[in-house]
Structure 1
């Protein structure tokens, strides 16, 4: 057990060294101008070692935050008894805003701002992110169908797509505010309001908004 713990800690340190080196280089030179060999050299690891942790160059950016996020399907499956799936997803996003989760866009630390700047300026990163999100969207649809109170697969896929679309747009708005020079603390009240509005629409449908 001691050796296993030591190996795990060593792997985590290596992984962190690689991501720190990658983000420093990407922030300075941009994603496309940095070669994987440059990242490996800066992190003092071999290219095969780097690829063992990050299979693609895009993963150097995306997996820094995505790997620690269990995803909406986990939220649905683990929600308290009696709470609807959408209510649990709303509360989870609000909690993550309060915690300044980088994936909500509401984080003004250098790694988070670099992450979002790279993401929205690099088409290959957006393409890779889309494949990640589609996998998680399918997982959410399955969770909605099996334990989220949704009775058919078609509806589960529609709801899952709406949830991921809403969360993507919320994160984009928050990140835009940060890039415009606002702090995460200053942006937080508006981020909460946007989240409540988005989930009101998801829970109540568009008819009430269209009729007002």
Structure 2
């Protein structure tokens, strides 16, 4: 990046970091855009030039990862099935305690995720980033030769499964389990999830069909 771009990126990061600090200290709904702008020493106009909505001040961190699954599929070794590339990437992320897996017990990360999941407007807005991630992955799967319908359905399932696994991990850590203690079960859950994605519901789908509709 040139000097101008680096300066803009520093400004963007300063505004976001200031906002997140205020939100964690006081609560997302209790902090105004004006407070964030004043604390970051920028005008409201400048703030909105970088972040169109209040929610974007927080969720841009997810936006930076929304096409990650698509990148993994495109960068996989020749001959490796897309689902196996995604499985391997998730297991590696769990091993490294990547915050996006929910398996990170750093206090600041825990507080950040709790704010996102517990704030209605943030949780609702997050679904937009999830949808864009699904679109990107579906496109990568089509490029890999998948039927367009199959690509869309598989992408939707993968993105939802990854998010649900992250939520499960976060909930366990929020209840007091350490990341190290949770790791073996997180790996087991991830492996099981990708087995189901690869093989279909099979007998589990039949079992669900014999029970009351949910």
Q: How does 1:180-199 map to 2 (within 5 A)?
A: 180-199=175-194
1-structure distance, mates of 2:178, 2:152: 35
Q: How does 1:19-38 map to 2 (within 5 A)?
A: 19-38=16-35
| Mapping of residues 167-206 of structure 1, within 5 Å | 167-206=162-201
Aligned residues of 2:62 and 2:129 also touching (Cα < 8 A):
no
Gaps of 5+ in 2: 208-214
1:55 alignment counterpart: 52
CA distance in 2 between partners of 1:162 and 1:65 (Å): 18
Compute the TM-score of the two structures, normalised by the length of structure 1: 0.89
What does residue 129 of structure 1 align with? 126
Contact 2:66 2:133 in 1 (8 A): no
Unaligned 5+ residue runs, structure 1? none
Cα deviation code 1:145-194 (max 9, x no counterpart): 121x42x2111111111101110110001111121122222222221111
Give the Cα–Cα distance (whole angstroms) in 2 for the partners of residues 185 and 18 of structure 1.
33
1:6 positional shift: 3.0
CA distance in 1, matches of 2:162, 2:9: 29
Question: Which of 136, 157, 161 pairs up with 1:162?
Answer: 157
Cα deviations across residues 4-39 of structure 1 (Å, max 9, x unaligned)?
533333233222222221121111221111111111
Q: Name the TM-score, length of structure 2 as normaliser.
A: 0.88
Matched with 2:210 is none
User: How many aligned positions are there?
Assistant: 207
Return closer, same or farther for 1:101/1:206 CA change in 2, 3 Å cut-off. same
On the 8 A contact 2:69/2:137 being kept in 1, the answer is: yes
Task: Report Cα offsets for 1:93-147 as digits up to 9, x if no partner.
Answer: 1111122221111122233212211121112112211111111101211111121
Alignment correspondent of 1:103: 100
Q: Distance in 2 between matches of 1:185 and 1:65?
A: 24
Instruction: Please give the root-mean-square deviation of Cα atoms over the aligned residues, in Å.
Output: 1.9
